[in-house]
């Protein structure tokens, strides 16, 4: 049994996953696991997609590369997908959402190619990642939070930290 939970923070690129994870990790001692970094650093890909300017993730290699770490617990996982992680590894799924006009500006500022920008906007508008989370995990561990402003982000961080404290109390008797 893990003594610390694993949390996924997921959502369309540009919703604030990384900053949420960095702050929660800094405040709680959970380890921030950036899947994008793991894919690059540990070679968990099948090459680079020049049109979308992103790595083509080999999910089997990725899961093999992180399995031993994740099973120990204590991770806050930062990635735009969640359905590949086994249910037994995950204790909370936070799906960050953002207004499409704000998301457009954020992705434009990142110089996303037009096709990638449009694909991500469509994904956000159609709630693809939220539905993916709901289809992949038990309803009670999936939480949808908005991340349109720094105030909302601060509130989200507080909610995640409160959940973590409660999990620790319930799961390991507060020790």
Asked if residue 3 belongs to a known ligand binding site, the reply is no
Which tokens go with 29? 């001692």
Residue 174 has pLDDT above 70, yes or no: no
Q: How many CB atoms lie within 10 A of CB 81?
A: 17
Q: Is 132 helix (H, G, I), strand (E, B) or coil?
A: helix
Topology at the third CATH level for domain 6-168: Rossmann fold (3.40.50)
Which residues, at least 6 apart from 22, have a Cβ–Cβ distance to it below 8 Å? 32
Q: What pLDDT score was predicted for residue 1?
A: 78
Residue 115 has pLDDT above 80, yes or no: yes
- Domain residue limits, the chain: 6-168
Asked if residue 174 belongs to a known ligand binding site, the reply is no
* DSSP one-letter code for 139: G
Give the pLDDT mean for 148-167.
Answer: 98
pLDDT tens string 31-67: 999 999 999 999 999 999 888 888 999 999 999 999 9
pLDDT tens string 13-25: 999 999 999 999 9
Which residues, at least 6 apart from 130, have a Cβ–Cβ distance to it below 8 Å? 95, 97, 144
Asked if residue 19 belongs to a known ligand binding site, the reply is yes
Asked if residue 16 belongs to a known ligand binding site, the reply is yes
Is the pTM higher than 0.75? The answer reads yes
Give the pLDDT mean for 137-153.
Answer: 97
Q: Is 34 helix (H, G, I), strand (E, B) or coil?
A: strand
* DSSP one-letter code for 127: T
Q: Do β-strands 6-10 and 54-57 pair in parallel, antiparallel, or remain unpaired?
A: unpaired
* Alpha carbons 33 and 70: distance in angstroms, whole number: 9
pLDDT tens string 67-81: 999 999 999 999 999
């Amino acid at each position: 049994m893990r003594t610390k939970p694993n949390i996924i923070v997921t959502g369309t690129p540009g919703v604030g996953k990384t900053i949420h994870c960095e702050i929660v990790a800094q405040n709680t001692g959970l380890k921030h696991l950036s899947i994008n970094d793991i894919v690059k650093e540990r070679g968990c890909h099948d090459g680079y997609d020049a049109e979308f300017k992103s790595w083509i993730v080999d999910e089997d290699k990725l899961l093999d590369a992180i399995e031993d770490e994740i099973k120990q617990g204590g991770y806050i996982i930062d990635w735009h997908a969640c359905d590949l992680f086994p249910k037994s590894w995950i204790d909370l799924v936070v799906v960050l959402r953002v207004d499409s006009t704000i998301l457009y500006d954020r992705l434009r500022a990142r110089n996303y190619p037009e096709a990638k920008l449009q694909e991500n906007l469509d994904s956000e508008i159609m709630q693809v990642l939220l539905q993916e989370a709901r289809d992949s995990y038990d309803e009670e561990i999936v939480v949808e939070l908005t991340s349109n402003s720094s105030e909302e982000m601060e509130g989200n961080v507080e909610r995640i930290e409160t959940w973590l404290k409660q999990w620790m109390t319930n799961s390991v008797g507060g020790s």
